[in-house]
Structure 1
Amino acid sequence: MATKEIFAGMPWWVKWVAVPVVALVVFGSLIATVVGFVVGLLFKALIFVALVGGLIYVVRKFISGSSSSRTDW
């Protein structure tokens, strides 16, 4: 059975209002869990990129600062 056949005799608000509301009620917690997981993953990825960038910055500063002192030896 196609979707058009199922909603053929129904008013427009059933397809565009009632069905999405029922879907949100039934799957609301699942949707919230997935969105929360994705947001948390993006936040952790952002923290990871910031920490790796900071580490690379510190290591390059340390290497460039200590390379001049190596020639003193």
Structure 2
Amino acid sequence: MARQGIFAGLPWWVKWVAIPLIVLVVFGGLITTVVGFVIGLLFKALILVALVGGLIFLVRKFTSSSSRGDW
């Protein structure tokens, strides 16, 4: 309720433009660091899934061919 009292007399552009811009200027570096970390983590997880999937594929391919005596 106190928050509505603080912003009650201000124009709309202060609430919806100026204050978010101030927040982005103050916390912009932190926001970009967190977003970059999350994107990097997702990329590494994607690489991990691809490598493990490739390894499983190769192991199954070679073990199935060796069990038939193709080697």
Verify same fold: TM over 0.5: yes
Name segments (4+ residues, structure 1) moved above 2 Å: none
Identity across aligned pairs (percent)?
Answer: 73
CA-CA distance at 1:17 after TM superposition: 0.2
Q: TM-score, normalised by structure 2?
A: 0.94
Post-superposition Cα deviations, 1:2-23, rounded to whole Å, max 9, x if no partner, equal: 2111101100011000000000
Q: Which runs of 5+ in 1 are unaligned?
A: none
Query: Which structure carries more relative contact order (alpha carbon 8 Å, separation 6+)?
Result: 1
Q: Which runs of 5+ in 2 are unaligned?
A: none
RMSD of aligned Cα (Å) = 1.3
Name the count of aligned residue pairs: 70
Counterpart Cα distance in 2 of 1:37 and 1:64: 40
Counterpart Cα distance in 2 of 1:58 and 1:38: 30
